[in-house]
């Protein structure tokens, strides 16, 4: 049983149920004595200092006077290595639960299998949304780092990016133990252009493979690959199958509550040298709402673009990727005028490619106009947008070697002279601009998803 000493008796109530203790402390500070071999789960927001003893926090060791933070909406598993005492400052909604087996035994055995394997080793982690994939990735990486292994972590979820920015996937090397993936310094990233892998699955597969190759070429001995929670349906199965085939991991860590991931891994038991390690979900996992995820991304955008400024690029020298614009020949003025009259559209610019017609007008496009354009022309693809539609589209900026430099948001496009304005904090030379599928408003809030090749 724990012992408690209150520093602020006004802060809340203590409820004891058998061997478990739940503390609901509102804005309080308290000291807790912990027995060797016990374990607990600390839910944030909380600040914790170890007064004496030794703890293992999600695989990272803490000793006397060291501190760690538990963010709001997060929970950290703590194992008590020797008799210890902590001082905890707990915010609203924070709590401390005594929890037997806060790190499941099958997590420990899975980590041991991976850490005892020949190097370099790739461990791919898959599971449902909020099943504990990120927690396991951090735990495994911390355990490896503590043994002197050079560890790279790939964060392959563009919707809940921890190491890099939303709409990207990224990787970094551990240079110390961490309590959350966002503490891992970013080494490089790959722009996906959407927060949902289902919008651009091929880009996620290509980007993940590229980041793994970078990590291995930089001497990684263990590459931990954390993935998104998209597991249901035929397209998810195709995506995850392609990802596994592309990576060829030595270990496939399957985190599941029942058998929800079996449809993704069944074939690998008989046709692959990949070893499948099935583990249970984490006690620290917490279901987060769609709004919570969106708010987290928007906070990241605001922080990133705080130092942004407008840069104007000449599209004769800087390439656009995932775009119709600049990939065709400008429409001759007589042809543009003819289309304006026949479709009754105030068109200001047009391009035609082998199979597409790209048009910019001064009014909102309507389907009946697009249908009429299709009747008048022989183009398979017709893209009609309103001038100004491009404002706020998120883009990825690349150097001349195709390496990711950072994010930007389109401010305007001068279609006729082929110049594009981008708001970005990036000040390096840009070789290409990759068009994304997400639009932000002036306050960096997500306002709409776009189809591929939106302009």
Is residue 330 located within the same domain as residue 453?
yes
How confident is the model at residue 158, as a pLDDT? 96
How confident is the model at residue 28, as a pLDDT? 67
Q: Residue 276: give its domain's CATH number.
A: 3.40.50.300
How confident is the model at residue 25, as a pLDDT? 40
Is residue 62 located within the same domain as residue 127?
no
> Per residue in 277-306, pLDDT tens?
999 987 777 777 888 889 999 999 999 999
Is residue 180 located within the same domain as residue 40?
no
| 9 confidence band (pLDDT: 50, 70, 90) | very low
Is residue 191 located within the same domain as residue 119?
yes
How confident is the model at residue 385, as a pLDDT? 96
How confident is the model at residue 134, as a pLDDT? 94
Place of tokens 């090749």: 453
> Per residue in 152-163, pLDDT tens?
999 999 999 999
> Per residue in 22-65, pLDDT tens?
333 434 678 889 999 999 999 989 999 999 999 999 999 999 99
* Distance in angstroms (rounded) separating the CA atoms of residues 383 and 381: 7
Is residue 84 located within the same domain as residue 110?
no
Query: Is 294 within a domain?
Result: no
% the chain with pLDDT above 70: 94
What range does the domain containing 195 cover?
105-287
Mean pLDDT of the chain: 90
Is residue 71 located within the same domain as residue 91?
yes
| 18 confidence band (pLDDT: 50, 70, 90) | very low
User: Per DSSP, which regions of 133-239 are E strands?
Assistant: 151-155, 168-173, 188-191, 222-226
Is residue 79 located within the same domain as residue 114?
no
Is residue 261 located within the same domain as residue 118?
yes
pTM of the full structure: 0.90
Structural domain count of the chain: 3
Domain boundary among 81, 98, 115: 98
How large is the angle between the packed helices 201-217 and 234-247, nearest 10 degrees?
Answer: 20
Query: Is 387 within a domain?
Result: yes
Structure tokens at 78: 């703590």
User: What DSSP string runs through 263-310?
Assistant: HHHTTHHHH-SPEEEEEPPPTT-----HHHHHHHHHHHHHHHHTT-EE
Domain boundary among 98, 129, 147: 98
| Contact between 168 and 197 (Cβ < 8 Å) | no
> Per residue in 61-90, pLDDT tens?
999 999 999 988 889 999 999 999 999 998
How confident is the model at residue 11, as a pLDDT? 35
Helix (H, G, I), strand (E, B) or coil at 404: strand
Which residues are 19's β-sheet partners? none
């Amino acid at each position: 049983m724990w012992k408690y000493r209150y520093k602020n008796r006004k802060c809340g109530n203590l409820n004891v149920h058998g061997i478990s203790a739940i503390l609901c402390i509102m804005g309080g500070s308290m000291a807790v004595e912990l027995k060797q071999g016990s374990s607990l789960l600390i839910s944030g927001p909380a600040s914790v200092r170890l007064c004496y003893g030794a703890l293992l926090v999600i695989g990272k060791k803490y000793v006397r006077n060291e501190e760690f933070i538990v963010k709001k909406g997060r929970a950290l598993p703590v194992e008590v290595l020797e008799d210890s005492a902590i001082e905890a400052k707990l915010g609203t909604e924070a709590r401390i639960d005594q929890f037997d087996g806060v790190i499941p035994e099958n997590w420990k055995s899975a980590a041991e299998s991976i850490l005892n394997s020949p190097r370099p080793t790739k461990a791919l982690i898959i599971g449902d949304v909020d099943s504990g994939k990120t927690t396991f990735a951090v735990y495994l990486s911390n355990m490896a780092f503590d043994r002197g292994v050079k560890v790279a972590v790939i964060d392959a979820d563009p919707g809940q990016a921890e190491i890099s920015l939303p709409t990207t996937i990224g990787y970094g090397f551990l240079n110390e133990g961490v309590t959350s993936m966002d503490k891992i310094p970013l080494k490089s990233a790959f722009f996906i252009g959407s927060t949902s892998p289902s919008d651009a699955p091929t880009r996620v597969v290509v980007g993940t493979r590229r980041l793994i190759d970078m990590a291995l070429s930089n001497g990684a001995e263990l590459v931990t690959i954390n993935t998104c929670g998209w597991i249901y349906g035929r397209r998810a199965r195709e995506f995850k199958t392609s990802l596994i085939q592309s990576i060829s991991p030595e270990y496939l860590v399957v985190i599941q509550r029942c058998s929800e991931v079996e449809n993704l891994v069944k074939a690998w038991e008989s046709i692959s040298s990949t070893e499948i390690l099935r583990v249970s979900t984490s006690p620290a996992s917490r279901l987060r709402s769609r709004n919570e995820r969106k708010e987290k991304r928007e906070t990241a955008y605001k922080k990133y673009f705080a130092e942004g400024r407008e840069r104007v690029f000449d599209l004769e020298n800087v390439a656009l990727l995932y775009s119709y614009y600049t990939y065709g020949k400008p429409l001759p003025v007589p042809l543009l005028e003819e289309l304006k009259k026949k479709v009754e559209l105030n068109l200001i610019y047009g391009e035609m490619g082998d199979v597409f017609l790209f048009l910019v007008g001064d009014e909102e496009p309507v389907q009946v106009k697009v249908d009429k354009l299709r009747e008048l022309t022989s183009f398979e693809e017709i893209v009609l947008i309103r001038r100004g539609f491009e404002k706020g589209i998120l883009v990825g900026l690349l150097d001349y070697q195709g390496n990711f430099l950072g994010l930007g948001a389109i401010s305007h496009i001068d279609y006729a002279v082929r110049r594009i304005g981008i708001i970005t904090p990036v000040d390096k030379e840009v070789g290409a601009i990759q068009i994304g599928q997400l639009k932000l408003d002036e306050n960096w809030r997500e306002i709409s998803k776009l189809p591929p090749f939106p302009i």
